[in-house]
Structures are given as structure tokens and as C-alpha cells.
Chain A
Amino acid sequence: MLNSIGREIPDFIPGYGPVKPFAGAFSFPPDCQRQAPKVKMTVPGEIKLVTSLEEVFKKIAITDGMTLSFHHHFRNGDGVVNQVLAVAAKLGIRNLKIALSSVFPVHEPLIDHIKSGVITALDTNYLSGPVAQAISQGILDTPVVLRTHGGRARAIECGQLKIDVAFIAAPAADDYGNINGIQGPTACGSLGYAFADAEYADHVVAVTDYLVEYPLSPVSISQTRVDYVVKVATVGDPKGIVSGTTRVTKDPVGLKIAATAANVIQASGLLKQGFSFQTGAGGASLATAHFVRQMMDKAGITGSFALGGITGFMVEMLEKGLFKNIIDVQGFDSEAIRSIATNPNHIEVSANVYASPFNAGCVVNKLDAVILGATEIDTDFHVNVVTGSDGVIMGGSGGHSDAAAGAKLTIVVANLLRSRLPVIMDAVLTATTPGETIDVLVTERGIAVNPKRSDLAAILAAAGLPVVNIHELKQIAEKIAGKPQPIKLSEKIIAVVEYRDGTIIDVVRQRMAQE
């Protein structure tokens, strides 16, 4: 069947289940209860502290076919996932589903676990590195379920992603299971993506290398939800934790795009007192923030909040009074960690609060402007952030679809041509974020405005900005580079792309050998 944006999707996908087709960004209101884990009792004197991961496996009785979940706040410095899976393999456990909120190069051992049958299903919001490449080559029989950050929280709350055991990598914990992300040698800042797991998993294990005397303070994840505490030698590499930081681009074309995007925000009229802003992690997105900051400085504007994905750049804006608050679901560098630990206006939020579409209102709903990237965008403004133009999985929505849906002004920044490849297609290879939530595309050769936003197009043109029809912009790209041949895909579905609300917006089909 075709979903509402014209993507061909089976009614039923083996390994996933019946498909609810995407029907519009807000067209599928919930009709369910929150799922509730079993009520527990822990009597006085019971010891939660366990000497090893292996012992935890035995105490819980982790068995074949279970779903284990992990957060990705240690980014490429993560040590817990590999340690836990090594124990599972050692104990001969098989057919596990791994719900890891993002997969990084450090998770390469997953490939062997998949090949040996320890892991047979993967649920994640972002896939990168060797695991992404291996999945693209079809090593998993069951399709990967790709969600948004808000969607993962929703899926856990509503029972679509049922977690048997949540392993929570804890930078600091006490022997009764209180956890925070700001103390200890492997401090990572906000634990945003761990909250839903802690709230709803059947069993919750805190894994830490920094055990403090009871009670830990402050507390992000409470003892009342944690069943076991394991102390290991190290939960991760602190250098790897901050490895995801991108620098502001120095590329002149990227800077031009960023300056233009900042001009769009200014021309839109949103850049005034109380402005709220989110930027993606790419070089051009960060550069846009740099230009927006200059404009705010010049006009004496104080923003209400910056949201994300937080880096030292945002922290500096907070500390210089350019924003009143930072709302933080994930820290990218040591400055973000320092700030959240010490500044009461730097607020930790869960993925649910940040972006879940099914609650009484998430933070992205209050966003004025967001700057996002794209590997591809089509003439309907649908954006691909899951596969590269070559059909290989190299990412995932993360917060992309969530922020795009919530913000008043969603801007995608992209080079019109990336190594000869035009960024504008007739149809993207993998739709991730629907065009109805994308307002503007900014490239170095012109700005395309979503036809739904004719009001905005008029304002931008009046401000002297180079507004061009998206079809024309595509022609310009193809005139320069030539029209690309399409990638040949097979019928095998290797990933299912779930929108925030649980409907399927697209699937990823394995590419054929391209000779």
C-alpha cells in the first residue's frame, strides 16, 4: 500500500508486525493507556549491589528472546553495551532484541553478535559506523526499527517497545540505585534518553564505575525504579563521550549557507525577545547558530531557551545572558556537562518531555526555530536523514522529525551539491521527516520555501533573500552535475522507519550490487 506521502509499504512486515501507514504529522491521535510494569517490593536489608554483570544475568534470569535496552549518552565512548553483550554471548543467550537509542562505531562487536545469533533484532534512533554498514549489507534477518527520539519514549510508554531489562550506564550511583549523569569520571551530562527505560522496563540495572555513599545527590533516576546496581571497572571512555562534537564549519560555502539561514530567521520576524532555538549537530547548523548569536548580540535580544543536543557554544550563550535557559536532552561536550551540573537554568529533560508526541505537550512544541541537516530532500520537501544517496544507512531521525514537527520555523541547510550529488531529488531514497513539517531549504544557490508557506515566501523575497522555486533549484543542480542515475534496490526490507506517532513513514530496502 501507499502511505500518505506516496511511499510503498507492505501491510505486514515480518519481524515488525502489522503496519500503520503514515497519514500526516498529527493525524494519528493515541487511543491507549500507558503500559505499566509490575509493582515491586524491596524489603529492608535487601542488597541491590551485585558483584558482576554475570550475576545480574543470573539473578534476573535473562533468557533467550528478551529485549535489553541501553541509552547512548556515552556516544562513541560507550563501554556498557559491549560489556553486557559479551556476558550474554558467554552465557549462551540468543535471539536478543537490543533497544539501544543510538549506535556508534564503538558498538562494532554487535556485528559478531548478530552473526552468531546472540542478537536477532535491533531497535534504535540512529545507526552509524560499521554496524550501519553491516546492516545495510543485510546481516540482520529482521528489519531494524528506526524511531525518533520522541517516538522511542512514546513507544516505551505506550507498550509498543516492551523492555525486559534496561541497563542504565550510570556515571554516578549509590548502592540503592539512585543515578545522576553529572558526577564521576565518566560524567555525561543529561540522561534524557534513559528515563523512559527506567520508568517502564520490567527490570532496571544501574551499571556504574563510580559508586558513592548513599544517598546520591542530586538524583536523576530514582532508586524506586532500579533493581540492581553493578560496579564495573569502567563504563566508558570520557574522551569518547565528547567525541561527537562538531566544529563550526570553515568551508566558505557552508558559511554562506549558514549566514543565509540566519537571515531567514531574522526576516521571519521570530528573532525577538523570548526567542527559542534548536540547532542540529552538523557544521553548517552550528555556523548558523554563530550568525544568529551575532544578530542577537547586536539587537540586544535575550532568548527564552536553547534546546538540544547541547554544546559549549550554547552554554556560552547561556552564560552571556543571550538565553535565559537551556533545555538539555543530551550533552555533547565537557562544557555542556559542567554547565548542567552547576547552572540551575540548565535543565535536564527526558526524551518524553523533549519530544514525545503523545503527552500533554513536549518542548519542541514551544520552539520558534530549528536548523536541521539532510542527506536528501525532494520536491515535496520530504527529508532523508537515514540513508546516504548511495542507499547505505548512515544515520536516523534522532530528534529531526520531532523538532521539525514542533518548531514554528523549520529550516534545512544543505549544500545544493555534495560531491557532485544534487541534494534535491524527485523522491528521496528514504523519507524520514515529512515535507509538511519542513518550511525552508537553504542552499548556497538559493532558498526554496514550502508552497504551504506562501506567507513566508513573500516575507523572505521582500527582505531581498534569494527565494527560488524548489523545482528550479533542482534544475540548477542537475544542470551543473548532470542527472544522477537512481540507486537500484532489492525487495528485502532492512529497516522500518517509524514516524513519531508509530506510523510507518518509509522502509529501507537493501541496495543491490551497483555495477
Chain B
Amino acid sequence: MGNTLNTAQAGTLESGDIMLIVAPASAAGITIELESIVFPQYGQAIMEVLQKTVEQHGLTGIYIKAIDRGALDCTIKARVLTALARAGAVLKEELL
């Protein structure tokens, strides 16, 4: 599903936000590169939210670069969905 994706960006570097760049990847699965001001405390949680959100929409072959400034889960979800939509991914309506 992800092979017609463009590269797209969402979010900002403001406090409480997360900036995401989403791009098609040749490798299968979901590759996430994460930088976060709260990496020791929430790094794992952030990766899980990103991973799960993308998987829920049945997408694969995605590369995500994320720079996090302390975003909550709901913000991370909203931002990654925005980036995916901008990249041209077809998302499941009922999950948005």
C-alpha cells in the first residue's frame, strides 16, 4: 500500500509538538528514527505509538524521521496521520 507515497512533513519544533517526516522506504515494515528531548523517559512509548498508528492503517514500507519536543500520545498520532495523509497514503476513515 505504501509504494505510491511521496515524502511529506507535519508538526513543528515547538514545545509539546513533534515534527515528522514520512517517506517511502524500500525495506518492508516501518523504520523510525527518533530524536526526543524526553528520550530516556518516553522514547520507547513514542516509538510504539508511531509504529502502532501506522500499522493500524495497514501501511508498510514507511520511513519516519521524528524530532520530538515532548508531545503527548494524541499529538503524536495526529501528526503522523497528517504526515501520512499529506504523503498520499490512503488511511482508514473510521480510525482517524
Contact = CB atoms under 8 A, between A and B. Distances in A.
Indicate whether A and B interact.
yes
Interface of A: 389-391, 419-421, 480-482, 484-488, 514
Contact of A485 (B15, B42, B70): B42
Contacts of A488: 40
Given A420-B42, A482-B42, 18 more contacts: A389-B38, A390-B41, A391-B40, A419-B16, A419-B70, A420-B16, A420-B70, A420-B71, A421-B41, A482-B72, A482-B73, A484-B42, A485-B42, A485-B45, A487-B41, A488-B40, A514-B39, A514-B40
Q: Closest 10 interchain pairs by CB?
A: A419-B70, A484-B41, A420-B70, A514-B40, A485-B41, A420-B38, A482-B45, A487-B40, A419-B15, A421-B38
B37 interface: yes
B19 to A, nearest CB: 14
B93 to A, nearest CB: 27
B57 interface: no
- Interface of chain A, main secondary structure: loop
Contacts of B65: none
A390 B69 CA distance: 14
Interface residues of B, number: 16
10 contacts: A419-B37, A419-B38, A419-B70, A420-B38, A420-B41, A420-B42, A421-B41, A480-B72, A484-B38, A484-B41
Contacts of A514: 39-40, 43
B4 interface: no
A231 to B, nearest CB: 46
B56 interface: no
A390 B40 contact: yes
A484 B70 CA distance: 12
A485 B16 contact: no
Interface in B1-58: 15-16, 37-45
Contacts of B42: 420, 481-482, 484-485
Contacts of A486: 41
A485 B37 contact: no
Contacts of A481: 42, 72
A421 B41 CA distance: 8
